[in-house]
């Protein structure tokens, strides 16, 4: 194991990697229950999506562990699952089988551009300050997720189907008058103290302590823990390969009037999935040192010669595989940063996550007792750590400051990594074009910025 994952070469140990894997898993385990809840609104069987979520996440994560040897975990992307349900199915009128087909086509395109090295070339076209902006934006983004999941924020606005909507949406600080927000605050304090004391495994220990504290507070109910139910795995048959039926590929392009709309939908999923993954790899990999400058060298060589190239390939395969199994697009998870922050450096971290996902099939009830209030503070702490890249941005140069700020702010406030990247790309390109410095912008970055802009225009006209 030490030799296969090159632990000594990466200056890590089995203990650290296992701890990192446990931390990453508990930080992202909410997807096991959240994803089926969202996708089932389209009419998809909850049990089938539950099984597809676990198996798709485990396969993708195990692939990146064994092939790329990096500590990243894969799962159906938050935002991508919401787009699947509320946009593709509810707004655009696709059946869930057709929506899966759109995700599969997008995944195949991602695999193709990864194999042809075009995806890596996109990464090379991004200026250093924008890469740092992406790191900071992701930090603020996941910190916001943590604040929300911890119950620290309330929202003023109209409620539609249980969601806050309307122009009067304003986030306000919770009064901490309920035990959920209070437990989240206790968890944040525990983790902050442990981090300040440089305690190894501080985040994971904090999650365990917070979960235990949640028992007498009435938030964690041990009696609800179910220890074994193997039947949940078989439910995947209800959604796996559903895209190949009469309601999938056969009907998707049957109506000529929907062809343009379908192409637009594929483009939207492709851009979001592609840049969510690129943003996560850049944001976490650069700060942690997992992907150094040498990882971006030798673009034109045949095959995959670096961990970065291999990780991108695994992400592409996972994108297509997840949809084949019956869930929305599987992508690199930003919560991987939780495990990386406590020392995870190799694929052993990912392998642990993959095994834990599979264990969840019969032991879902046991893992489910860890409350969101226990994992949310971990995301806030990781957000703090990722903001360190902000000092490398030249804020005195307005040509850098505006794209950098918009990347960071829109990524967090729009609750979408790819939107933040899109804002940075578009405004950086506009500033350079109208400043007479278009030659300083890589042609690929200009092209991607244009695609983002076209996608926004088409969406606005619908």
H or E segment to which residue 153 belongs: strand 153-160
pLDDT value, residue 259: 79
pLDDT value, residue 82: 77
Report yes or no: 268 and 452 within 8 Å, Cβ to Cβ. no
pLDDT over 80 (residue 453): yes
Distance CA 8, CA 223 (A): 42
pLDDT value, residue 462: 61
Are β-strands 163-173 and 74-76 bridged in parallel, bridged antiparallel, or unpaired? unpaired
Question: How confident is residue 144, by pLDDT bands cut at 50, 70 and 90?
Answer: confident
- Least confident range from 62-76, 340-354, 370-384: namely 370-384
* The dihedral formed by the CA atoms of 274, 279, 284 and 285, expressed in degrees to the nearest 10: 60
DSSP code of 173? Answer: E
Report yes or no: 135 and 411 within 8 Å, Cβ to Cβ. no
Report yes or no: 63 and 236 within 8 Å, Cβ to Cβ. no
Length of the chain: 462
Span 344-357, mean pLDDT? 94
pLDDT value, residue 368: 64
pLDDT value, residue 163: 47
H or E segment to which residue 169 belongs: strand 163-173
The tens digit of pLDDT for each residue in 6-24 reads: 888 888 999 999 999 998 9
The tens digit of pLDDT for each residue in 383-416 reads: 888 888 899 899 999 999 999 999 999 988 887 7
Please classify residue 389 by burial: count the beta carbons closer than 10 Å to its beta carbon, then call 0-12 exposed, 13-18 middle and 19+ buried: buried
Rounded alpha-carbon distances, angstroms, from residue 136 to 12, 333, 425: 26, 16, 15
How many other CB atoms sit within 10 Å of the CB of residue 302? 7
- Least confident range from 113-117, 192-196, 331-335: namely 113-117
**Angle at which helices 14-28 and 372-386 pack, to 10 degrees?**
110
DSSP code of 177? Answer: -
pLDDT over 70 (residue 276): yes
| DSSP E strand boundaries for 227-346 | 330-332
Measured in degrees and rounded to the nearest 5, phi and psi for residue 385 equal -65, -35
- Expressed in angstroms, the distance from the first to the final Cα of the chain is 53
pLDDT value, residue 160: 44
Only one residue has tokens 């193709």, namely: 112
Report yes or no: 284 and 290 within 8 Å, Cβ to Cβ. yes
Please classify residue 399 by burial: count the beta carbons closer than 10 Å to its beta carbon, then call 0-12 exposed, 13-18 middle and 19+ buried: middle
pLDDT value, residue 294: 57
Report yes or no: 364 and 32 within 8 Å, Cβ to Cβ. yes
Rounded alpha-carbon distances, angstroms, from residue 45 to 35, 123, 206, 243, 252: 12, 38, 35, 14, 21
Residue 330 in 3-state DSSP? strand
The tens digit of pLDDT for each residue in 78-90 reads: 778 877 887 788 8
Span 333-338, mean pLDDT? 84
Please classify residue 439 by burial: count the beta carbons closer than 10 Å to its beta carbon, then call 0-12 exposed, 13-18 middle and 19+ buried: exposed
Rounded alpha-carbon distances, angstroms, from residue 336 to 137, 232, 283, 339: 15, 26, 11, 6
pLDDT value, residue 274: 79
């Amino acid at each position: 194991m030490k030799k296969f994952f090159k632990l000594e070469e990466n200056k890590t140990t089995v203990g650290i990697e296992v701890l990192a894997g446990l931390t990453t898993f508990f930080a992202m385990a909410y997807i096991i229950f959240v994803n089926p809840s969202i996708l089932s609104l389209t009419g998809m069987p909850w049990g089938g999506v539950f099984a597809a979520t676990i198996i798709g996440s485990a396969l993708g994560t195990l692939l990146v562990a064994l092939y790329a040897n990096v500590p990243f975990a894969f799962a159906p992307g938050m935002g991508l699952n919401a787009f699947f349900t509320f946009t593709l199915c509810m707004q655009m009128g696709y059946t869930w089988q057709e929506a899966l087909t759109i995700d599969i086509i997008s995944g195949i395109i991602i695999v193709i551009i990864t194999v042809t090295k075009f995806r890596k070339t996109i990464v090379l076209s991004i200026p250093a300050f924008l890469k740092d902006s992406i790191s900071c934006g992701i930090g603020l983004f996941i910190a916001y997720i943590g604040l929300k999941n911890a119950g620290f924020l309330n929202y003023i606005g109209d409620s539609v189907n249980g969601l806050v909507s309307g122009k009067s949406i304003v986030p306000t600080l919770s009064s901490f008058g309920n035990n959920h927000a209070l437990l989240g605050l206790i968890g944040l304090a525990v983790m902050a103290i442990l981090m300040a004391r440089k305690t190894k495994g501080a985040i994971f220990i904090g999650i365990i302590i917070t979960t235990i504290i949640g028992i007498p507070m009435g938030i964690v109910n041990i009696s609800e823990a179910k220890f074994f139910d193997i039947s949940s795995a078989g439910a995947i048959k209800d959604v796996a390969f559903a895209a190949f039926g009469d309601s999938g590929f056969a009907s998707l392009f049957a109506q000529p009037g929907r062809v343009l709309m379908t192409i637009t939908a594929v483009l939207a999923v492709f851009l979001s999935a592609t840049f969510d993954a690129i943003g996560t790899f850049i944001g976490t990999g650069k700060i942690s040192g997992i992907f150094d400058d040498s990882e971006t060298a030798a673009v034109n060589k045949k095959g995959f010669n670096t961990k970065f190239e291999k990780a991108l390939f695994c992400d592409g395969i996972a994108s297509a595989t997840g949809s084949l199994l019956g869930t929305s697009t599987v992508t690199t998870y930003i919560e991987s940063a939780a495990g990386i922050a406590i020392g995870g450096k190799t694929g052993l971290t990912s392998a642990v996550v993959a095994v834990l996902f599979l264990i969840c099939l019969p032991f879902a009830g046991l893992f489910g007792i860890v409350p969101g209030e226990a994992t949310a503070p971990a995301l806030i702490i990781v957000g703090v750590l990722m903001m360190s890249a902000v000092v490398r941005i030249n804020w005195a140069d307005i040509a850098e400051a505006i794209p950098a700020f918009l990347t960071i702010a829109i990524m967090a406030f729009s609750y979408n990594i790819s939107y933040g990247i899109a804002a940075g790309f578009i405004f950086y390109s506009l500033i350079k074009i109208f400043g007479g410095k278009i030659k300083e912008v890589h042609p690929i970055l200009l092209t991607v910025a244009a695609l983002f802009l076209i996608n926004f225009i088409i969406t606005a006209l619908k």
